[in-house]
Amino acid sequence: MRRISQFLKEHLNNRPEAAVPSILTDGPFPTEADFYRYRKQRGVNLGSWFVLERWIADGPFRAADSPAQSDLDVVRGTNAKAILEQHWDTWITQDDWEWIAQRGINTVRIPIGYYHICGADPSVLHNTDFANYGKVFEGAWRRITNAIAIAHQYGLGVLIDLHAAPGKQNADSHSGTSSPNPTFFTNEYNMKHTIHVLSVLLSQLTAFTQSHDPPLPNIVGIELLNEPQPQTRHHALEKWYLEAFRTLRAIDTEMPLYIGDVWMTDQYVDFLSGSATQFAVLDHHLYRCFTTQDISTPVAEHTRALTDPDQWAPQMFARVGQKLESAGCGIVIGEWSGGLNPGSLQDIEDGDQARRQYVEAQLQLYDRCCAGWFFWTYKKERGGDTGWSLKDAVQARAFPAWVGMRAIKPIGDAQNRDRDASKDSARSRALGRYPGRK
């Protein structure tokens, strides 16, 4: 048996400390799927494409029902089907895929709600808040699978994230409804039904990727639940995770499964380390702009806290990364940003330069200690937000123009394009049927 982690360190220039999971394999290695799943994920979230967030994209809420903050509000409004389908077809286009790939990003995280799967299996809506809206959402699944196929054309992996579960797993409107009272953990039906939803999702993804011509190897994993908030019911969440693992492993033994750490990272590291789950990934979200302490902390101090090895974050990531690697698992930063509260930027002459240093401190830490990261988010409807919109941040030089494994000349240089084409051709020959960038 050959260790995937050792192969990737030898052939994909991953540094030894990069926390690549130590997975063992008896089968043919490496497959194209192995390259997608076990390389370091340098990714971006395609926020507000399917699960809507009004602060990112306001347009889809133009005819929404009050309070006009969630997917359910949109669907209860007028002309919802046409509004949603127009948004799905225009929010991410071919130009966006090309832009993403040209920056060295190799994976996208796509947040979806359980209702977006109903076009593949209407049973996911049974006895839920969206039970009567199958006709509105039936076209979403075709667009999700089309996104997977297009991503493959650009060499991009796809992490499918269940962002909205039946009953809501947290109180936020990005969990599907505007209700402040989530019932995922208080209603046993919701927990069981979400496992059914995940079973449908995995089965349908497997069927689609295997039947596609050519087969698609670029699903890097499924995230079982985005940002669950169990309050005091952590035992119930851990029990639910185990049941989900068992059910999904019966469908596909090799698909990487991602779980949220509820901002209790060490507890869920211990959970994964002791649960014999095969390859699983812990998802940690890191923002430094919401709490009172964050607001009063200058950006230079936020940056130092990420670079000083004696500070909490570097110590925590090094510790948990090593522990998870030894268990055959990994940790990713599934959401992070350059977002800072204005209080952190007081008396700063060049805010974007300070933000760039803050972003680069995060990138260096995550690349050193984690199996990957996903910036939140790719773009916003209204431009100019260099903290949260990757496109705006790159344009303002608050985010590096390239995050891949090698430095390149500025995009658009003819000599660089020729060099890229030559390397893509060599990569295609090495991997067999590998499309490279278009």
CATH number of the domain that 360 lies in? 3.20.20.80
240: in domain: yes
Same domain, 364 and 296: yes
In 70-167, the DSSP E strands lie at 107-113, 157-164
Same domain, 290 and 413: no
Same domain, 225 and 253: yes
29: in domain: no
**Number of folded domains that form the chain:** 2
Same domain, 191 and 331: yes
Sign of CA dihedral 89, 92, 93, 94: negative
Same domain, 241 and 186: yes
Same domain, 231 and 297: yes
107: in domain: yes
To the nearest 10°, the Cα dihedral for 76, 78, 80, 83? Answer: -140
310: in domain: yes
Same domain, 365 and 418: no
20: in domain: no
Same domain, 422 and 277: no
Exposed/middle/buried for 180, CB within 10 Å: 0-12, 13-18, 19+? exposed
Return per-residue pLDDT of the chain as tens, 438 residues: 334 444 444 444 443 334 444 444 555 668 999 999 999 999 999 999 999 999 999 999 999 999 999 999 999 999 999 999 999 999 999 999 999 999 999 999 999 999 999 999 999 999 999 999 999 999 999 999 999 999 999 999 999 999 999 999 999 999 999 999 999 999 999 999 999 999 999 999 999 999 999 999 999 999 999 999 998 888 999 999 999 999 999 999 999 999 999 999 999 999 998 886 678 999 999 999 999 899 999 999 999 999 999 999 999 999 999 999 999 999 999 999 999 999 999 989 898 999 999 999 999 999 999 999 999 999 999 999 999 999 999 999 999 999 997 544 445 555 555 545 544 543 443 343 333 333
Expressed as residue numbers, the domain containing 422 is: 409-438
User: In whole angstroms, what is the distance from residue 401 CA to residue 15 CA?
Assistant: 22
pTM of the model: 0.88
Q: What are phi and psi of 230, to 5 degrees?
A: -80, 0
Same domain, 414 and 400: no
322: in domain: yes
Alpha carbon of 438 to those of 10, 12, 153, 434: distances in Å? 27, 21, 7, 12
